[in-house]
């Protein structure tokens, strides 16, 4: 069992170097985490002070056993993906590589699109989403629910996108409008 998580400060990057596309592509998702609400931030302060989690308040969560993780993996592998949903996944990623087939603006905004790893990640994450929703099959909604997290770090946008104030999320929103479900 092996997993790596990394954080990235979106504001301050002085003294750091951006990862090359090939390394970014190896991250399954790029999840945006917002600031905590007031109650959560207060709890964070108390946790750091050592005032929470040591009172025996019943909130101690035991670690998940490896066999439970492996069983969940097996269940997720059994989540069915129809040919139509598989085609939708492939079409979304292909649209990042060949955006001119879908829209002139997309073509001007995308400098480098997703690799085959993007398709693999979309498929994997859509199956996880379906499993978390209690289904044994993937719906197009599962793909749409996770596509931003899977693609946002895999797209290299052009100068035109930057000049137009277009973000990776904006590009993905446009892709979702232009690429039809098979």
Spell out the domains of the chain, with CATH numbers in brackets: 78-178 (1.10.8.80)
Is a pLDDT exceeding 90 seen at residue 13?
no
Measured CA angle at 166 (ends 96, 97), to 5 deg: 10
The pTM (predicted TM-score) of the whole model is 0.86
In the block, which residue shows the tokens 């609400």?
A: 37
- Calculate the average pLDDT of the chain: 92
pLDDT, tens digit, 9 for 90 and up, residues 143-158: 999 999 999 999 999 9
3-state secondary structure of 44: helix
Mean pLDDT within 149-176: 97
Give which of 124, 112, 110, 123 is closest to 171, Cα–Cα. Answer: 110
Among left, alpha and beta (phi > 0; psi -120 to 50; other), residue 15 is: left
| The token pair that represents 126 in the structure block | 């859509």
pLDDT reported for residue 56: 53
Mean pLDDT within 64-72: 94
Asked whether the beta carbons of 172 and 161 are under 8 A apart, the reply is: no
Q: Across-strand partners of 111? A: none
| The token pair that represents 118 in the structure block | 């993007």
Q: Largest alpha-carbon pair distance within the chain?
A: 60
Q: Residue 55: which pLDDT band, with cuts at 50, 70 and 90?
A: low
């Amino acid at each position: 069992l092996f997993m790596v998580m990394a954080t990235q400060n979106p504001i301050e990057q002085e003294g750091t170097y951006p990862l090359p596309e090939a390394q970014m592509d190896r991250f399954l998702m790029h999840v945006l985490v917002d600031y905590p609400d007031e109650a959560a931030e207060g709890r964070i302060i108390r946790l750091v002070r050592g005032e929470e989690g040591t009172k025996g308040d019943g909130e101690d969560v035991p670690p998940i056993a490896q066999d439970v993780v492996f069983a969940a993996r097996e269940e997720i592998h059994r989540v069915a993906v129809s040919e139509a949903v598989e085609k939708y996944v492939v079409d979304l990623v292909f649209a990042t590589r060949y955006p001119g087939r879908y829209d002139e603006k997309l073509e001007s905004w995308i400098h480098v699109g997703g690799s085959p790893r993007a398709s693999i990640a979309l498929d994997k994450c859509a199956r996880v989403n379906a499993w978390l929703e209690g289904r044994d099959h993937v719906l197009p909604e599962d793909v749409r629910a996770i596509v931003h997290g899977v693609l946002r770090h895999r797209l290299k946008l052009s100068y035109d996108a930057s000049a137009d104030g277009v973000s990776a999320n904006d590009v993905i929103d446009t892709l979702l409008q232009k690429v039809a479900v098979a």
